[in-house]
Chains A and B, each alone.
Chain A
Amino acid sequence: MIPPRITPSEVDVQQAEKRILSNGVALYTLASEDFEVLRITFVFRAGSAVQTVPFSASAAANLLSEGAADRTAREIAEQLDYYGSWFDVNIDRDYVYVSFAMLSKFFDHTLEVAEAILLRPTFPEEELRTYAAKRKQRLAIDRTKVDVEAREAFARALFGARHPYGISSDEALYDSLTREDVVAFYRRFYTAERCFVVCSGRIGEHELEAVGSLAERLPHGVAEPEPLFPEPETQHEAFVAHPGAVQASLRLGRLLFPRQHPDFVGMQVVATALGGYFGSRLMQNLRERNGYTYGVVAAMVNFERAGYFAVATQVGTDVAREALEAIYREIERLRTEPMPGEELELVKNMMTGEMMRILDGPFGIADVTIENILCGTDNAVIGENIRRIRSMTPADVQRLAQRYLAREDLVTVVAGAGNPMA
């Protein structure tokens, strides 16, 4: 009594409409009348990789809403909360994403606050000090967790401890972060040249005009040479001692390439088969067969100027060595045995379904659109990627694994009570 199963072969997504404003900022729209809400996201190329003073990038992003020329931090919070509007700032190594989501009927009120936040932030000294104290404490707490220790050590091992993608700064440096550092960062990087905007949900002419007029007032930046981007210096093993930890955090992987590389999508298929879903080889082995862990993942991670393959898990201290060996063996198996056709079919279906789930709802579509713009493409690439995934053969999977996942190229990092690599 098994019902029929249909494999969706096409995933089509609406193309964003693009207009270029007078100051060069690109404004993308994904309009849909089905909803009573909308979201506006401003993306700035102002992530932590471009900072020269530790924590200045994240402080600039997170303090945008903590005081403007015409209103205090409290008034900003009050005005956003009053209308149920949702404001969020995210930062990664390369970019800052400033998003406002709101009920359509409160668009004008929310945009007025958005304007103060983006164009007139003042970064008051006392707000900076409160923020720095809080962040310092939170980072200290995070660094008592083995998974955070391993994550930071893994970035250092892949790129080098002083590389913009590898560096982790001492939390005590929050104390020496000054208002001038933050203001200088904002002036330099929150400019028209480094920004684009994506709107999704119920967007009419009025909303589009208003967002455009705000973005048009972003100032031009001073032309400056791109900061140096050093060659990564990879170290193949690292261990962070954490006496008394009941679990060890394991990270394995290697530097590869960013999303634009022709093998990126293929390596996503390889990573998914290995550890990208509940039935993956590593989950079956480490969790289902051996009970070493609650969860394990493998993925391709994309930065603007680099990309890497990674496996991450937390396991019982007493089985760390066995778990590491099991991970190496599963990677080796991808290289030596062709993947059964049925398993590959499953992985492809999973990945297609995953894309459909990410694209469910106007905000999900906006997120994918942003990612595509950042990679220099548009939403047509979604269909293309799905076709590439679907055309992968067992021989392709094996060829990629052989080429990119040789044992001697892998970086292994462990944070825990004892060193299982010793």
Chain B
Amino acid sequence: MIPYNKTTLANGLVVVVNRDRASKLAAVNLLYRVGARNENPERTGFAHLFEHLMFRGTRQVPNFDLPVQMASGDNNAFTNNDYTDFYITLPKDNLETALWLESDRMQGLAITPEKLQTEKRVVIEEFRQRYLNQPYGDQMMLLRELAYRVHPYRWATIGLTPDHIERATLADVGAFYRRHYHPSNAVLSISADLDEERMLELAGKWFAPLVDTPARADVIPQEPVQTEARRREVERDVPATTVSVAYHMGRRSDPDFQTADLISDLLAGGDSGRLYQHLVKERQLLSSVNAYVTGDLDPGLFVFTGQLLPGVAPEAVEAAFREEIEALQRDAATEYEIEKVKNKFEATTLFGELNVMNKAMNLGFYEMLGDLAFINREIDCYRTVTPDDIRTYCSRVLRSENSSTLIYRARK
């Protein structure tokens, strides 16, 4: 249970605060509702490149990191398909330093052609290090391309190709900044051992003077319903073949999300998960296996993925995945299994509340989803999932016409 207070400033910025009585730190999280899904298909990777540029200095603060570090703080950021998140932890007495810096860079960014050029090189190195120079680095990219034809989820946050990053111009940067970085497109969340009213007051002091520049929401092309199974094989210099199967599923905020998440947990939650027990241990088809849901703002993916042991045929693994799905439809999960997933959710939640950064980040995320109160109610949704819900979900979502299969074959 995370208690919180929430307010919306006149300029549209949502502010959420939580008092943590144990920590000596303050965590400040600023979430912008912009991610790779808002990108132009000819300029992919831009939201992430822009996240990097946010550290390149403003008219008032030429070096963003310097004052953070002087205040004993640490800061970072990440971008995903749906949103961009900036966060700082620092001694609680220095909270205002974080608010000053975040409010300053919401509107005062000063990007020069040189800064843009250096940052493009850094991001292209990141592209190489994490996606091209890494065994299996392009696997998820290929799976996205296969599963999505229209929706911008068809590309990863890093983008479709380093060329897109290379082509970004200063004009693109300015337009993106104005369109997406303004108070009514952001959520500020704070967790610290400070009085809630005091935190709200300080947020107002630093952010209320900012002028909002609202823009019409982007129209995101939605993925048409898939009607037949898709399949692709590639060959790469990797030691072991992998098989991935992705099914289109609903949104993070849909009422059946907890059912989907619970199913992925039955299959792959810990060493007692069905896939690990059946396919890794008993049948020895795979050296590792996973099933997970992407939990995105727009309809996401339910993904199965496994790494084959030598001598195993990909077809045998595809068949084995299907058998596990059929087993879920035939003999639904028991009350016992469901109780187990519920316990796990409770434990994960409580472990996650042990530090201020997690709490601030989660508050921002649930507010972005559109229902902040859900942060403390979601556990009830897991509690009410029934064996019948699981059966129905499997027949509706985990069907072959709705699947995209990627065979990532090890070159002999």
Contacts and interface: CB of A to CB of B under 8 A. Distances in A.
Nearest to A85: B347
A314 B129 contact: yes
B171 to A, nearest CB: 21
Interface stretch (A50-58, A71-79, A151-159, A297-305): A71-79
Given A2-B100, A3-B96, A130-B284, A77 B270 contact: yes
A200 to B, nearest CB: 10
A102 B347 contact: yes
Contacts of B320: none
Interface string A274-295: 0001110000000111111110
A346 to B, nearest CB: 5
A81 B269 contact: yes
A316 B128 contact: yes
Contacts of B122: 287-288, 291, 293-294
Contacts of B238: 141, 144
Interface in A63-95: 65, 73-74, 77-78, 80-86
Size bracket, chain A contacts: 35 or more
B348 A84 contact: yes
B125 A86 contact: no
Contacts of A133: 284, 287, 309
B135 interface: yes
A90 B71 CA distance: 33
Contact of B272 (A78, A137, A345, A354): A78
Contact of B240 (A32, A141, A352, A363): A141
Contact of A363 (B73, B284, B340, B354): B354
B65 A353 contact: no
B195 interface: no
A36 B346 CA distance: 11
A86 B66 contact: no
B91 A356 contact: yes
Contacts of A80: 270, 272
A226 interface: no
A137 B240 contact: yes
B133 A247 contact: yes
Interface string A322-350: 00000000000000000000000110011
Contacts of A8: 24, 72, 91, 93
Nearest to B287: A134
Interface of A: 1-8, 32, 34-37, 65, 73-74, 77-78, 80-86, 101-103, 106, 130, 133-134, 137-138, 140-141, 144-146, 245-247, 277-279, 287-294, 314-316, 345-346, 349-350, 352-354, 356-357, 360-364
Given A3-B96, A287-B122, A290-B118, 7 more contacts: A65-B271, A83-B343, A86-B347, A106-B343, A291-B121, A346-B69, A349-B70
10 contacts: A7-B72, A35-B350, A130-B281, A279-B66, A279-B69, A290-B121, A292-B125, A294-B122, A346-B69, A357-B74
